[in-house]
A and B are shown apart, each in its own frame.
Chain A
Amino acid sequence: MGAADVRGAGHSGAPGRLLLMTGALLFLALFLVLPLLVVFAQALAKGAGAYFAAISDPMAWAAVKLTLTVAAIAVPCNLVFGVTAAWAIAKFEFRGKSTLITLIDLPFAVSPVIAGLVFILLFGSHGWFGGYLRLHHIRVIFAVPGIVLATIFVTFPFIARELIPVMQAQGREDEETALSLGATGWQTFWRVTLPNIRWGLLYGVLLCNARAMGEFGAVSVVSGHVRGLTNTMPLHVEILYNEYNYSAAFAVASLLALLALITLAGKSFLEWRQPELRRAAAPAHDRTRREKT
């Protein structure tokens, strides 16, 4: 069947296609591009001077630094966890596997506010471990450790969820081949498994990172909103907004949006630099899951 036949075969001809594309693009413009433009427009509404004043405010800088620090701790933690969990789930059969999958999804199902409250219940001054922590002068709640914990909890499923289907689709044959060729488990992981999942992993890390930097609910509960100490960027934006300091609020918001855009650009750059790998990462059409005989 020729390409023309395929195109004509659907019940939506050329007008239908046009309608679909226009619809999608309009939707995209209305709900994604427009808000993003508004953020930047509002941020610059009072001129570039006011913008730079807002973002060079020490409190704003403290928020930026805290956000980056939290992401820099939370993302690697979830990276290690995500790869381990996906590996275990995709490549081995064991008791309690479905329970583990459900548990990984828990942070998606639970409201972030509840996640924050759980940590207060555990580590707050009246919480389960509150007495012990106070005795040893360790602050978790209303301090950086609490924010990191809440962020890890909320962003926990992103990498694992991204990797599980990729690894399941690839099966175990590549690893088994590597082992039969004399590779150690470690060599197999670095030379075969990791390259096979690198794009899924990158997507997972990006999503995880975006969420870690943007998380509001859970962090809001455990942070205590101490300016310059426990305010992350989203919290700082909210405070500025509540103080009717719109242009400053949007200026910090624009920084947050910029961080997201930079990560996306970074990913596109990597893909563009390595076309060979992009092709290699395309789903293999010739792989079916091995049937057990």
Chain B
Amino acid sequence: MSIALRGVAKQFGEFAAVENIDLDVPTGALIALLGPSGCGKTTLLRIIAGLETPDEGQVLFDGRDATLWPIRDRNVGFVFQHYALFRHMSVFENVAFGLKVKPRRERPAPKEIQNKVRSLLELVQLGWAGDRYPAQLSGGQRQRVALARALAVDPDVLLLDEPFGALDSQVRHELRRWLRRLHDELHFTSIFVTHDQQEAIEVADTIVVLNRGRIEQSGAPGEVYDMPTSAFVHRFLGQVNELPVQMRGGRAYLGPIDISPAADHPPGAPDDIALIRPHEIEIGPEESGWPATVVAVRVIGPIVRLELCAEGQPPPERLEAEVSRERYEDERFGVGQKVGLRFRRWQVYSANGAAA
């Protein structure tokens, strides 16, 4: 089922949770709504689910106006961050719930319900846990039960509200990959909310970045990461270094580095800033670039993060650079060492955050 939002807006008292949202989710897509807390992503998901009614605008399901449909008629599966499993029911009963509450003429026979629940529990690798109670399961297992329960009613759309937010990083990683596989196998339309850019990039086909109730940018993960259209998106999708662009004699500089030749960057206004990701900083011998001192080295598995104090930079401001572990083993950067910096890529934004 395809979903479309047209000019959707919702206020809570004085607070505008979402404003004038237009969004198209094609059938079978897996979309991430990404943004900081308070950006309106959960409200948007709840509007699609029918848990909130928008003040303005329309929600279209397969082109039909579903704005006022009650949640039980929408055939959506909803998964909460804290699982919302029914504590007084066994895992089996939880998964069977959606089948057992169907009106009599639609309700499958008890035998069918049993088979369906069993196969769903197998699908989420919890075939052994049918008789357990939610309190006896770990967080990751509970979330898989919640998913199986949502899938039991064959939803057209699966909506997930920070589904892995309460889990530790190992389990998160596993569940993300598992959700992606499940989506590829079952082909339902999925929308999930997250504040974790890595999760969005790993799982989704399309990322919709939200900020203050509005869509900042949407696109494929690689596109949004590599070509952010605003400083907000650039900052939100990973680590960045921020440097003021200095204008000297009609040319633009970052420290001593002249960045004006780049044809796609117009000369720039005085308050422009450049954003550079840590892996876009190249480190060479001192005379090869902007002179800097290594002030801290941290080995993080396959990468090594260096904190650098560049010449002419006010002392509290540091640049963060990342080099591969192999490179680090070869060069042995140490604290206090003098190096030279060059920038492989950068993006200039005007003071209001728009791409320059």
On A, residues with C-beta under 8 Å from B are 173-174, 176-184, 187, 191-192, 195-196, 198, 276-277, 279-282, 284, 286-288, 290-293
A-B contact count (CB 8 A): 100
Chain A residues near B101 (CB-CB < 8 A): 178, 181-184, 187, 191
Q: Which residues of A contact B74 (CB under 8 A)?
A: 180
B interface residues, how many (CB within 8 angstroms): 42
> Are A179 and B71 in contact (CB-based, < 8 A)?
yes
What 8 A-B pairs are tightest by C-beta distance, nearest first?
Answer: A181-B98, A173-B84, A293-B42, A183-B101, A180-B78, A195-B88, A280-B88, A177-B84
B77: A residues at CB distance < 8 A: 180-181
Chain B residues close to A by CB (< 8 Å): 12, 17, 37-43, 49-51, 70-72, 74-78, 80-84, 86-89, 97-98, 101-102, 133, 135, 139, 149-150, 152-153, 166, 193
A181 contacts B37, C-beta separation under 8 Å: no
* A-side contacts of B88, CB under 8 Å: 195-196, 198, 277, 280-281
- Using Cβ atoms and an 8 Å threshold, which residues of chain B touch A291? 37
- B contact face: mostly helix, strand, loop, or mixed: loop
Bound: A198/B87 CA distance, A: 12
Q: Does A178 lie within 8 Å of B97, measured CB to CB?
A: yes
A180-B49, A180-B71 given; A292·B43 CB < 8 A? yes
**Do B37 and A177 touch across chains, with their CB atoms under 8 A apart?**
no
Return chain A residues, CB-CB under 8 Å to B97. 178, 181, 183, 191
| Residue in B88, B101, B133, B135 whose Cβ sees the most chain A Cβ within 10 Å | B88
Name which of B42, B50, B78, B87 has the most chain A CB atoms within 10 A of its CB: B87
Closest residue on chain A to residue B41 by CB atoms: A293
| A291 closest partner in B (C-beta) | B37
Roughly how many angstroms separate A195 CA and B12 CA in the complex, as a whole number?
31
Partner of B12 from the list A179, A182, A292 (CB cut-off 8 Å) is: A292
The complex places the Cα of A284 from the Cα of B133 at a distance, in Å, of 12
Chain A's nearest CB lies how many Å from the CB of B285?
48
Contact A290 B81 (CB under 8 A): yes
The CA-CA distance from A173 to B84 in the complex, in Å, is: 6
What are 12 A-B interface contacts by the 8 Å CB criterion?
A: A177-B80, A180-B49, A180-B71, A183-B97, A191-B101, A198-B88, A277-B88, A279-B133, A280-B87, A292-B42, A293-B17, A293-B40
B43 touches A176 (CB 8 A): no
Q: Is the CB of A181 within 8 A of B87?
A: no
A280 and B133 in contact (CB under 8 A), knowing A181-B98, A292-B12? Answer: yes
Using known A-B contacts A192-B86, A280-B88, A293-B38, determine if residue A182 contacts B80 with beta carbons closer than 8 Å: no
Question: Roughly how many angstroms separate A280 CA and B89 CA in the complex, as a whole number?
Answer: 9
Q: A173's contact among B82, B89, B102, by CB below 8 Å, is which?
A: B82
Which residues of A lie under 8 Å from residue B41 when comparing CB positions? 293
